[in-house]
Amino acid sequence: MGLGQTMLTIMALILMGRMILSVNTTTLDVGFTKDMSEYRITATSLGTSMLEKASNLAFDENSVDAEISATSGLTAAASLGKETGETTESTFDDIDDYNNYVSIDTLSTSATYKSRVTLVYVLISSNVISVSASQTYSKRMTVDVTSDYLVDYSVNPPRPDTLRFQQIFSYWYFR
């Protein structure tokens, strides 16, 4: 084997090594992206499920069994939250029971997700939504879902990420 053939063999080995490294890197990137997508999809499912569960409940504790004809008949903004006897999510009967509710879920992916819910009265006028200190016919529910596996890698250094879901619930009264 001459010098030319030896050089060609060495170049072929270098080229093959670079291709193997490139394939391995691509495979790792695809696996990482798949895992991150799975964690985000699961967190999205948890957040939207919480909003869906709340949408099946009464607007306010005072509207569970009766109609409300004035905002003064609604629960005071400072009193939004669980009433006596409502200890678990299955006993909630109106959406403001979710205020300051925290849920911790460990799913089959072995990732632990923490969901925090806040609820406030809002005013809606001219396409502007603002928080209200008094009762209105609209409440905004915010669900923040966090996990050790939800990380924002678009910044350097990477930081924990929170997925936020919001929905406005309104009370309609017809005479």
123 vs 132: CA distance, rounded Å: 6
Number of domains in the chain: 1
Owning domain of residue 62? 3-170
Evaluate whether residue 175 is within a structural domain: no
Q: How is residue 82 annotated by DSSP?
A: P
**Are 93 and 70 within 8 A, CB to CB?**
no
Let me know the angle formed at the C-alpha of 102 by 98 and 106, rounded to the nearest 5 degrees.
Answer: 130
Q: Which of 99, 68, 79 is nearest to 170 (CA)?
A: 68
Evaluate whether residue 70 is within a structural domain: yes
Evaluate whether residue 129 is within a structural domain: yes
Q: Where are the alpha helices (DSSP H) in the chain?
A: 3-55
pLDDT confidence bin for 28, thresholds 50/70/90: low
Mean pLDDT (whole number) for 150-163: 87
In the predicted structure, residue 162 carries a pLDDT above the cut 80: yes
Evaluate whether residue 9 is within a structural domain: yes
pLDDT confidence bin for 38, thresholds 50/70/90: confident
Mean pLDDT of the chain: 87
Number of other CB atoms surrounding residue 36 within 10 Å: 15
pLDDT of residue 174: 63
In the predicted structure, residue 115 carries a pLDDT above the cut 60: yes
Evaluate whether residue 110 is within a structural domain: yes
Q: Strand locations in 56-137, DSSP E?
A: 102-106, 112-125, 128-132
* Paired tokens of 16: 């093959």
pLDDT-above-90 percentage for the chain: 43
Evaluate whether residue 23 is within a structural domain: yes
Evaluate whether residue 71 is within a structural domain: yes
**Are 147 and 163 within 8 A, CB to CB?**
no
pLDDT of residue 30: 65
The reported pTM is 0.79
Evaluate whether residue 65 is within a structural domain: yes
